[in-house]
Amino acid sequence: MRLEQLQAFLAIAETGSFQQAARKCGFTQSTISRQIQALETDLGLALFHRTAHAKLTLGGERLLPRVRKICQEWHNATEELTDLLSGKQPELCVAAIHSLCSYYLPPILQQFCRDYPDVQLRVTSLGSDRALKVLKDGLVDLAIVMNNRFLTTNPEMVVQVLYDEPIEVLTAANHPLAKYDRVPWTELIRYPQVVFKDGYGMQRLVQDRFERLGATLQAVLEVNTLDAFRGVVRQGELIALLPQSALVEARLDPTLAVLSLAANDASSVIETLGLSRRVVMVTTGDRLNIPPIKHFWQLVQKSMPSQLKQQVSA
């Protein structure tokens, strides 16, 4: 049983004529007749009385409402796909890490809304691992995250590197580490830290670096918002390792200090490069064929580097 056979059956039922149905479907009458014969063979019963007027048999009458539904569903499906390929989709869903949502994305979001006013843009702030999970599950169209090669190596994933940024130290202004221009790792590892919750790429990055140093990360508190980091660190005891883009507001706060990490520590056996993270944009190859998603992707590619430079220079 094929769709064109059902469409031919519906056309004959609606016009009452094989000839008119052939004209409506754009086929010859003989083609329409062969399609109905094949359909009747598959079903094992006649669908029309072969008279001057093509009248439905009892079997044809029972089949008609089902065929109407099938053909209507097919029509709806093809219309939706046509709209999708032409850019007419109801919404575009983006998952992004917190620092991007606060500073880099807003101008891009505004531009997209001007370019696609009929597309509802939905942005969710998530940790990197969670954002990649919901992308894989089809709950969002695109994710902007800290790179995790274990979650982005799937062949269907398309990954665009946006930028690399240093990890810096956030302390209270009166913290003992605040006296350093560049904090030595031998000093840093002595102090308890507030870290991102499990499932955030930053926690994994910091934990991995401490393990490589053979040191124990004293993670005494987990939070998941930048406001919470600033509030806790401001109390004076805990410190935090955060990406540069997450520290824009902290730099303007006189009660806080933002410090660079020393590139190496020549005074000890610890030798380490400065710590940094890579931010990437991820989607699936099929989504990049959809105009609004492709446009958002291109906006981020074009705007993100300039936004980053402006924030760093400020």
Tens-digit pLDDT profile for residues 45-97: 999 988 778 889 999 899 999 999 998 888 888 777 776 676 667 889 999 99
Check if the beta carbon of residue 163 is closer than 8 Å to that of residue 191: no
pTM: predicted TM-score of the whole model, two decimal places: 0.70
> Structural domain boundaries of the chain?
3-85, 94-155+285-313, 164-277
Question: Tokens representing 205?
Answer: 């990055």
**Each residue of 97-128: b (16+ CB within 10 Å) or e?**
bbbbbbbbbeebbeebeeebeebeeebebbbb
Between strands 157-172 and 240-243, the pairing is antiparallel
* 164-277 CATH choice from 3.40.50.720, 3.40.190.290, 3.40.640.10, 3.40.50.2300: 3.40.190.290
Sign of CA dihedral 127, 130, 133, 137: negative
Query: Could you tell me the fold of the domain covering 3-85?
Result: Arc Repressor Mutant, subunit A (1.10.10)
Q: Give the closest residue to 243 by CA, choosing from 167, 191, 174, 181.
A: 167
pLDDT tens per residue across span 139-192: 999 999 998 877 777 788 999 999 999 999 999 999 999 999 899 999 999 999
Question: Hey, is 233 helix, strand or coil?
Answer: helix
Average pLDDT over every residue of 109-115: 94
Written as one letter, the residue type at 4 is: E
E strand or H helix at 119: none
Question: Tokens representing 206?
Answer: 């910091």
Q: What per-residue confidence (pLDDT) applies to 274?
A: 66
How much is the pLDDT for 95? 94
Fold match flag (3-85 vs 164-277): no
The CATH number of the structural domain formed by 94-155+285-313 is 3.40.190
